[in-house]
Amino acid sequence: MSIGKLFKENSGKLVVEIVSRDSEVSALKDSFKELEAKSQDAAIEKHVPYVEEVDEGYLVKVGKETKHPMLAEHFIEFIEILVDDNFLYRKYLKPNEEPEALFKVAKGSKIVAKEYCNIHGLWKN
Ligand SMILES: [Fe+2]
């Protein structure tokens, strides 16, 4: 399934997303590299998104004890959750905002959270 796959331009910062379920992505391969979401973080600044179920839905923080920086030159660009492989919700962030997102959505049984750091790339829980 290609839905939600992200690709980054080889010679720039452009990130594109596959939005159709059965799309052919080979056309992108010459100029773009697929972003593989990392889930293990040994650095002091934490990238792995931490999902907390709350009354209204889901609160996602980056990271759990130590917040990721939100500086102009290094920040979390967006946080997203995919609920039950059907509903994709995304919050875009700016420098100086909190590295977290509250998604007031219907709950599901399978939650995959991802976040994109402008320096360190894509991460998932
Ligand atoms: Fe980072």
Ligand 1 is an ion; residues with CB less than 5 A from it: 117, 119-120
Number of domains in the chain: 2
Domain that holds residue 27: 1-35
* Whether residues 21 and 58 fall in one domain: no
What is the whole-number distance in angstroms between the Cα of residue 97 and the centre of ligand 1? 14
What is the whole-number distance in angstroms between the Cα of residue 71 and the centre of ligand 1? 10
With 80 as the cut, is the pLDDT of residue 43 above it?
A: no
With 60 as the cut, is the pLDDT of residue 1 above it?
A: no
What is the whole-number distance in angstroms between the Cα of residue 118 and the centre of ligand 1? 7
pLDDT in tens, 62-82: 988 889 999 999 999 999 999
What is the whole-number distance in angstroms between the Cα of residue 116 and the centre of ligand 1? 8
- Percent of the chain scored above 90 by pLDDT? 62
- Tokens 């007031």 found at: 104
Q: Classify burial at 36, counting beta carbons within 10 Å of its beta carbon; exposed 0-12, middle 13-18, buried 19 or more.
A: exposed
* Whether residues 42 and 24 fall in one domain: no
CATH code (residue 105): 2.60.40.730
Question: What are the structure tokens assigned to 44, written together?
Answer: 């002091």
* Whether residues 93 and 110 fall in one domain: yes
Tell me what the pLDDT averaged over the chain comes to.
90
pTM, two decimals, is 0.88
